[in-house]
Amino acid sequence: MTERFDVVIVGGGIIGAACADRLAGEGHKVCLIEAREFLREASWAAPGVLHPIHPFSYPAPLHPLLRAAPAMFPPLAADLLQRTGIDVGLETPGLVVLGDQVEALARWCGEAIPHQHVRSSALIDCPADEGPALFLPEARTLRPARLGHALLEGARRRGAELRSHTPAIEVEAGQVRVPGGIIEADTVVMAAGAWSGGLCRAAPTEPVRGQMLLYDGGLPHMVIFSDRTYVTPRRDGRVLFGSTVERAGFDGRPTEQVVARLQERAETLLGLHPSALLGAWAGLRPGTPSGLPHIGRDDRHPGLIHAMGHYRTGVILAPLTAEIVADLVAGRAPRFVLPRVNS
């Protein structure tokens, strides 16, 4: 069986959901397919910090996107709440940065992102390393799973076809082969996260595992510690603590050894009791050899658009990525352009 759409999106995480909602909102006939369940990979495991953990370590072409993206979330959250009734949990707890990242981050923020040099003890009450700190009062968080569900529901209400448990067997410009047939489209958008590279060899990706803990008890602000571990408070009074960077293939399970190490660090820094630990999980981030996400048309196949390889920036860059993809599909010049995949 062969079906026809304007756009078929491969991958049902935050990026694919954002693209589906944006494209359907512009009147395109959209089909979004996901090999497993929607939002169950990196999108589900992400902490939802709407500020890059250590942005100065990312390649320079990514910096303008990272600075511009956070401002998109308040209007997006309000729009999704109105259209779907889903509250994505957008909060503004601010971010406290400790240790050797302070000066580098202050330079990175420049005049574009409000920040203040403070003493950590003035903002957080925990056994963390005290001393000079940087406070970003406008740094936000949200619940990634809620954002993903709101985007999917928004896309569905705008007419997009959403299909879980529909793996892409073969992807080409203009068509995607799935079990039982072919989905043809003017444009194919590849947004399958760490699995994208296996379907689109021109834009390699690799899985990078990150493990996190959930505790009962919290802090008023997000905190990035001197070893780049971080804590993220939630509205329900719980906190997330993470995270690791591991090349472990496609094994997305938390490991006993790493969980124990994170637990020791979290309880030392935050003064939490072991009984406050509520759970642990892991996710597979989509990394790339260059450190840059692949966002743009494929040089060899103009009907194929890449929206993948976001590594640790998938949530924060989701609406901006969707904007770039929608501009490319409509033939508009995007306001942000990254180096092209095959150039």
Give the domain CATH number at 231: 3.30.9.10
187 with 311, same domain: the answer is yes
Report the C-alpha gap between 208 and 246 in whole angstroms.
Answer: 5
Report the C-alpha gap between 37 and 300 in whole angstroms.
Answer: 31
Task: Give the contacts of 277 (CB within 8 A, at least 6 positions apart).
Answer: 213, 214, 215, 263
133 with 210, same domain: the answer is yes
Q: Between the CA atoms of 105, 231, 293 and 247, what dihedral angle is there, to the nearest 10 degrees?
A: 120
**Is 166 exposed, middle or buried (CB count within 10 Å of its CB: 0-12, 13-18, 19+)?**
buried
99 with 132, same domain: the answer is yes
15 with 54, same domain: the answer is yes
218 pLDDT tier (thresholds 50, 70, 90): confident
85 with 163, same domain: the answer is yes
242 with 195, same domain: the answer is no
Query: Does position 129 have pLDDT exceeding 60, yes or no?
Result: no
Report the C-alpha gap between 98 and 116 in whole angstroms.
Answer: 12
Peptide bond into 226 cis (omega under 30): no
pLDDT at 299: 84
Which of the given ranges, 12-21, 119-128, 211-220, has the highest pLDDT on average? 12-21
Strand bridging mode 181-190 / 304-308: parallel
DSSP bridge pairs for 209: 246, 284
pLDDT at 46: 92
117 with 259, same domain: the answer is yes
> Taking residues 242-257, what's their average pLDDT?
94
Terminal CA-CA length for the chain: 36
pTM: 0.95
How do residues 295-307 score in pLDDT, each as one tens digit?
Answer: 999 988 889 999 9
Query: Residue 307 phi/psi, 5° resolution?
Result: -145, 70
Ranking 51-65, 117-131, 176-190, 231-245 by mean pLDDT, the lowest is 117-131
Number of domains within the chain:
2
222 with 77, same domain: the answer is no
Enter the tokens of residue 233.
């408070």
pLDDT at 343: 44
What residue spans of the chain are helical by DSSP H?
Answer: 14-25, 42-45, 63-68, 73-84, 102-109, 144-157, 196-199, 256-270, 318-330
155 with 73, same domain: the answer is yes
24 with 84, same domain: the answer is yes
How do residues 224-246 score in pLDDT, each as one tens digit?
Answer: 988 888 999 998 889 999 999 99
70 with 111, same domain: the answer is no
Select from 287, 311, 327 the last residue of a domain: 287
Select from 243, 271, 287 the last residue of a domain: 287
Report the C-alpha gap between 16 and 43 in whole angstroms.
Answer: 10
- Structural domain including 129 reads 95-138+206-287
Q: Between the CA atoms of 63, 96, 311 and 100, what dihedral angle is there, to the nearest 10 degrees?
A: 80
**Is 173 exposed, middle or buried (CB count within 10 Å of its CB: 0-12, 13-18, 19+)?**
middle
Question: By C-alpha distance, which of 326, 341, 329 is closest to 295?
Answer: 341
Query: Does position 342 have pLDDT exceeding 60, yes or no?
Result: no
- The CATH number that applies at residue 178 is 3.50.50.60
Across the chain, mean pLDDT equals 93
Task: Give the contacts of 106 (CB within 8 A, at least 6 positions apart).
Answer: 115, 117, 134
pLDDT at 55: 87
What is the DSSP code (8-state) at residue 12?
A: -
266 pLDDT tier (thresholds 50, 70, 90): very high
86 with 152, same domain: the answer is yes
> Taking residues 196-213, what's their average pLDDT?
89
Angstrom CA distances, 303 to 172, 203, 312, stand at 9, 15, 27
Amino acid identity, residue 161? E
Report the C-alpha gap between 218 and 239 in whole angstroms.
Answer: 5
